[in-house]
Structure 1
């Protein structure tokens, strides 16, 4: 497979960047589904890329597996109230990023597992949205920074991968989705997996111009940030580190790019 390439032309190496225009052109993106285990997951991992895509007319749908009711830093909070707050925060953040729709599933925060039931829910959303690209947490644990490998994130990533192939494109997987709901099977072309182990990152998107938008979206998650200034510094530092040129004014978000159905793959049964 050739990362970030739709032809036989040489693709960027892991130390090269693509800008958002190149990303849209090379992957043929018109519609994206971004999936997170909790509110703010996608905002931390891919908000600048999502904002850049939305600025270029890409339709972005956000799907959250849980309401994030186990999050926050205040003791003794009511889980149902926290869920309500976090949903409201996420909808405001999504508006900042230009996300067109927010879908909330009903998994339990802290207890997400890649079950057949969850895969079915994701296949339903995927067939409704019919994205070219799915953005999701990575299903592999990153030992270099364990905080980005919350068990819910890993389970979310595994469920997304299982749904993306082969379930969403197999008409005999969850046949009631086709027979009762009219949701026909289709093929997803690409995955962009965020929070990947360092050795898996092979696609870096230059998003310096989108830093203010990303930070504005993250500020909406006020229930999760006891020190917003420190959070913003950490995010900017991580984006500087993701840029292959090293410490500089340029910023990037890194992904593991997976081609599911492209010119170098066999798509069929």
Structure 2
């Protein structure tokens, strides 16, 4: 159970010392609005602070007073000036198009490179409950990147347009004038917005603090990725109790999400919560309970937020039969599957519906992040071990005959498909989705969107045994699925698949070379630090050396 003091801050948190700090600002000014006072205190304490400005901010010119490219340059210059007031000159501009920011494999790789190069211990970024889509995407970006790191970081989510429920407060009373000056460094934005009003929120944040000396504070939701109960981003939504403020698209065609489940109520609850968190609202959920225990009480807790229809199998018929039952009861224009052990990120449905509505295609799919959970044999709990993007394949009709395209929840398709492929083949027990996609691909093209919008969860025990292991049963059904469609394979299909494999190998080799260069740079940096430590030990008295050694640790 989450304790009150984990949700509400009654005391101020001291500014950390001796840490490298990375600040993510979706737009030039977010860093000053959300954590300008904290940045000032961090730089005053001697902490190196680097600001990443993620988007170009070109859509902020509501009055259309500037040429777009000129406006981008103006906003960059304003951020440089504000950052200097806050105490840092280390600002990096990524220039992704404003209001078009999505999680892609390229963006995650760029962010990983930034993390490994800068080696931050503390990361500041907007909260995932913010209204603006760029803010939410930046939160997701930082979260996904942090989960793939080989070292832990502290993440402090800050607030701009949407107040959070903080567990960390930083007293900025002593530097409030510096924050005011930094806010004044954005004249292009002051013409459109009243930035001084954010100070009212900073003043309000001292309400839970007992002493009168605190006049202004900045609020954060702090998470340590090294802790044993490191939550998923869906759990952060729950902890913040802010799912009601997520901006939802209220118009559009209905989407049917088919959820197959059996005796996994805790995982099912997390999957359903990820549907609640969708920014797209025109959703019905068809839940197929395939011979499991009753789940009516659980579903009642979600009915206020979701349109749910329950299909119950008295006896388990397997995944394929459950999928066919879901398709039979679905009424949406677009359909998709979400198994009870996987999660959708908030913009999943919105991205896919928007694409399918504006293109002459019936099937589209996004990328997913594979999350590996390891079971603690003592407590029995599963804990996140690592995350990485594995499935990111462009559509290739030939390659699909040799391997599955992508996990099932990545794909959204029109109900027109069902006129040609009405159901899953119940003669196959595993890889039923692969069989379905092969049959669909004979008549329809698929479009790959390089955006990470879901989480494919894989659970292991301490010995490394996967729930999705290479057991004889799985091998049998893999061979069965291949044999079923072998008659479709031509010589050119073999050639096309071979070329695709060769292209993947070249990409992996290139990535390995990049990682080797990064490792070499880190070794050089470590050697420099070690040489410095040796020089310090030789020149300082032993007690002073002990003090700095303990401080370093």
TM range (shorter): 0.7 to 0.9
Question: What per-residue deviation string (whole Å, max 9, x for no partner) do you get for residues 38-76 of structure 1?
Answer: 100111000000101110101100001112122134325
Bigger mean CA deviation after superposition, 95-104 or 84-93: 95-104
In 2, distance between residues paired with 1:267 and 1:101? 33
Alignment of 1:97-112 (within 5 A): 97-112=86-101
Mapped contact 2:21–2:48 kept (Cα < 8 A): yes
Structure-1 residue corresponding to 2:195? 231
Query: Does the C-alpha gap of structure 1 residues 212 and 155 become closer, same or farther in structure 2, counting only changes over 3 Å?
Result: same
Structure-2 residue corresponding to 1:157? 139
Mapped contact 2:202–2:216 kept (Cα < 8 A): yes
Q: By how many angstroms is 1:150 displaced?
A: 0.8
The TM-score normalised by the length of structure 2 is 0.39
Alignment of 1:13-162 (within 5 A): 14-19=8-13, 22-24=14-16, 29-141=18-130, 149-162=131-144
Find the residue that maps to 1:70 and give its secondary structure: helix
In 2, distance between residues paired with 1:216 and 1:224? 14
In 2, distance between residues paired with 1:77 and 1:212? 30
In 2, distance between residues paired with 1:207 and 1:218? 14
Structure 1 gaps of 5+ residues are 4-10, 142-148, 170-186
Structure-2 residue corresponding to 1:219? 184
Q: Higher relative CO (CA 8 A, sep ≥ 6), structure 1 or 2?
A: 1
Q: Which has the larger radius of gyration?
A: 2
Q: By how many angstroms is 1:231 displaced?
A: 2.5
Aligned length: 230
Q: By how many angstroms is 1:244 displaced?
A: 2.9
Query: Does the C-alpha gap of structure 1 residues 2 and 191 become closer, same or farther in structure 2, counting only changes over 3 Å?
Result: farther
Q: By how many angstroms is 1:13 displaced?
A: 6.5
The TM-score normalised by the length of structure 1 is 0.77
Structure 2 gaps of 5+ residues are 231-382, 387-553
In 2, distance between residues paired with 1:40 and 1:252? 18
Q: By how many angstroms is 1:17 displaced?
A: 2.6
Structure-2 residue corresponding to 1:242? 205
Q: By how many angstroms is 1:33 displaced?
A: 0.1
In 1, distance between residues paired with 2:93 and 2:102? 16
Q: By how many angstroms is 1:200 displaced?
A: 3.6
Find the residue that maps to 1:261 and give its secondary structure: coil
Runs of 4+ aligned residues of structure 1 deviating over 6 Å after TM superposition are 246-249, 263-267
